[in-house]
Structure 1
Amino acid sequence: MSLESVLAEIAALPVWLGALALFAAALIEYVFPPFPGDSICLFGAFLVGHAGWSLPAVFAAVLAGNVVGFAADYAIGAWMRRRLARRGAAGAEPSPRLRAVLDLEERFRTRAATTLLLNRFLPGIRAFLFVGAGFYRYSFARTVLWGTLSATAWNALIFAAGVAVGLNWADLSTWMERYTTAVWILLGLLAVALLARWWFRRRAGGGQ
């Protein structure tokens, strides 16, 4: 089956059904990060230009899925923290690794707004940022605010690209693949830089 015939089949669906599928895809991306949510969103934007789907309806469906998805991540993080608190109340001592994680709370809170604002532009790790927000008890209202602003900006970029490119799905998907690859390279370089910084500081401190 050719791409054109597949697009024709999807374009023939009622808009409400297509919007529901996009909502579910945008939600699943946050709960199951390997799921290609951005590609689904991109395809929805493509169909706005290709099949005349309602732009407000499709955009709202994707944004709503994002919000419900990262709210679920926040709830998972909050549940993990409550579970940890119950273990502490029962007299269980946290492991050294867990204590190190807990020690990051103030640092996370200080950078939470910026981190959550950038989350949509960080493929692969965005879900874990919201789990962290829940775990470190960052304000849920602020989490929703920053997460929604980030999702709105990112989705607007994708939809603008999708509508502009129109029928050229190959160019659009190639653009997304290149962007994702570039971000992963930058994240890898950042991880190496942070690791090198930690190592040099450890050596300067005599390995303490």
Structure 2
Amino acid sequence: MEELFFDFIDQFGYFAVGALIFIENVFPPIPSEVILPLSGFFTTSTDMVLPLVIISATAGSVLGAYILYGIGYVLSRERLMRFFDTRPMRLLGFKGTDISSAVDWFDRKGQITVLICRCIPVVRSLISIPAGTARMNPVKFTLFTLVGSAVWNTILCSLGAAAGSAWETVSEQAEWVSDVVKYVIIAAIVVIAIVWIVKRIIPNLKKQ
């Protein structure tokens, strides 16, 4: 995959950087931890310059984020509430009011997470979905996404440029951090699932 990225950026320059990061935002398994340091490296071996690489990557980030924002927008509060009020979901301990409460919390206190999560591997793209569901103000969403993405892109592109031909070392370190975050998230999900089973699902089954 690295060779594919290399050839694409080598041939299409800034457009390739923006396009790859756009795709990475829509399909998070594609690693920005590889694309961004590689893009930074190209500023040392071609006539590409770091500021324009960062701008291209950030433009791709914002456009990609709006795809997921749109998905969240379609999955409105009302639709999700109806889904979680179905019998199968209620047997799993869910209630429609859970969604309403979550969206209300996001409206009151959670919008800043869009800015913060843009700098965190794994969740940096997915945070756009709850923002869409909560119908977060598009201007604020754009601003938070732009700033958070610019920070992430600047760090990895700059490190790639500084490392030069050793850009893969930066990529490996960034992927290591990403893997740690993944393990933490998985562990948190397991703990939450256990607590959910004990507090919600088991009591519901006893009532049947």
TM-score, structure 2 as length reference:
0.77
Map 1:97-136 → 2, pairs under 5 A: 97=94, 99=96, 100-136=98-134
**Alpha carbons 1:49, 1:162 under 8 Å: kept:** no
**Alpha carbons 2:21, 2:57 under 8 Å: kept:** yes
One-letter code of the match for 1:118? I
Inter-partner Cα distance in structure 1 for 2:30 and 2:10: 25
Residue 69 of structure 1: aligned partner: 64
**Structure 2 vs 1, CA of residues 196 and 22 (structure 1 numbering), >3 Å: closer, same or farther?**
same
Inter-partner Cα distance in structure 1 for 2:14 and 2:155: 18
User: Which of residues 182, 191, 202 in structure 1 aligns to 2:189?
Assistant: 191
Residue 163 of structure 1: aligned partner: 161
Residue 35 of structure 1: aligned partner: 30
Residue 47 of structure 1: aligned partner: 42
Structure 1 gap ranges (5+)? none
**Alpha carbons 1:119, 1:147 under 8 Å: kept:** no
* 2:135 is the counterpart of 1:140: no
Give, in angstroms, the shift of residue 116 of structure 1: 0.7
Give, in angstroms, the shift of residue 196 of structure 1: 5.6
Q: What are the superposed Cα offsets for residues 150-184 of structure 1, whole Å, 9 maximum, x if unpaired?
A: 10111111122112211113312221221111211
Inter-partner Cα distance in structure 1 for 2:101 and 2:156: 37
* 2:53 is the counterpart of 1:58: yes
**Alpha carbons 1:30, 1:127 under 8 Å: kept:** yes
Inter-partner Cα distance in structure 2 for 1:39 and 1:163: 13
**Structure 2 vs 1, CA of residues 35 and 93 (structure 1 numbering), >3 Å: closer, same or farther?**
closer
**Structure 2 vs 1, CA of residues 158 and 76 (structure 1 numbering), >3 Å: closer, same or farther?**
same
Structure 2 gap ranges (5+)? none
Give, in angstroms, the shift of residue 108 of structure 1: 2.1
Residue 19 of structure 1: aligned partner: 14
Inter-partner Cα distance in structure 1 for 2:58 and 2:161: 17
Identity of aligned residues (%): 23
Give, in angstroms, the shift of residue 27 of structure 1: 0.8
Give, in angstroms, the shift of residue 192 of structure 1: 4.1
User: Which of residues 148, 151, 156 in structure 1 aligns to 2:149?
Assistant: 151
**Structure 2 vs 1, CA of residues 110 and 191 (structure 1 numbering), >3 Å: closer, same or farther?**
farther
**Structure 2 vs 1, CA of residues 62 and 110 (structure 1 numbering), >3 Å: closer, same or farther?**
same
One-letter code of the match for 2:42? L
Q: Which moved more, 1:18-27 or 1:168-177?
A: 168-177
Q: Does the residue aligned with 1:104 lie in a helix, a strand or coil?
A: helix
Give, in angstroms, the shift of residue 193 of structure 1: 4.6
